Structure 1
Amino acid sequence: MTPPVSRPEPFEGPLYETARDVADAAGALTDACERASQSASPRLSALQLRALTAVRGSPRINLTRLAEEVGAAAPATSRLCDRLEAAGLLRRSRADDDRREIVLTVTQSGREILETAADRRTKAVYEILKHLSPGQRQDLLHGLQAFADAADEAKPSYGM
């Protein structure tokens, strides 16, 4: 007997409406964070920042795993690494235990760029949070934490 084909949830109804409202509301947050990150020097794209963040967070990450992390094809990720390496933000080196494997690490300059971008994002969010009451800030924080937890669980399914 053939197992039933699972059908995706329809993109309509109350949950879809909520998803659209959340995406619209989150746009203000992501826009503020992206603008703040873009004011760092050198100017890095959102993808470059994501790649540096992924490398910093995953010691001994290789090109294949980085491509999976950032959702890009291996050739595009290789070119991305070329640019980051040329800028002195990323280093490629041979793995100690397998000389065929290339591992990626963030340089000191790359770490400084990530710290500067994080500081600028924090300051941008701070300026916005000043316009919310303490209760609204707590509600926002709890909602975003719950969303982040759910996103970790859903990660394989939303990379459309």
Structure 2
Amino acid sequence: MSNPLSVAPLTAAAFAPYGEVIEVSGTPDKIINQGMCGRHHDLAQLDFASGHAGISLFDAKARQLPYLVDMVERHPYGSQAFIPITGTRFLVIVADDADGKPANLKAFLTGPGQSINLHRGVWHGVLAPLNAPGQYVVIDRIGTGNNLEEHWFKNPFLIETVPA
């Protein structure tokens, strides 16, 4: 048996407890390169307990609706940023922490030009591009120690529809 999970558009305010929405809004903070480039500065807080920041490329297979959320994970030693290269919208599943277990799952759908940075230790779903494969730049912690904790649900969550 599965629990229904509704999906909301990704907004900075709704996502703030879990991380930052990385997107261009307003005018650039600084104009550089002889006036040919606007810099939108410091849009996400990278946070690593140890190790160093690494940049990786992820090739993710497409997910389809209905989509079953049967597991979430978290990374206790570092934040994780996902920046789509292909522009594919993706589902972002997050949860609060209740005494070491995920609770109150929330689901968001990214819009055009949106990326995310998950705070260190935040429960989240796996990378899930919707309806088409996607390639992503991922900035996260590289280092020793077990930086992955998984939680499998006895009663998974089911996403049947997403906002247009």
Q: Of Structure 1 and Structure 2, which has the larger fraction of its residues in strand?
A: 2
- TM value normalised by structure 1: 0.23
- TM value normalised by structure 2: 0.22
Choose 1 or 2 for highest CA Rg. 1
Q: Of Structure 1 and Structure 2, which has the larger fraction of its residues in helix?
A: 1
- The one of the two structures with greater contact order (alpha-carbon pairs below 8 A, sep at least 6) is 2
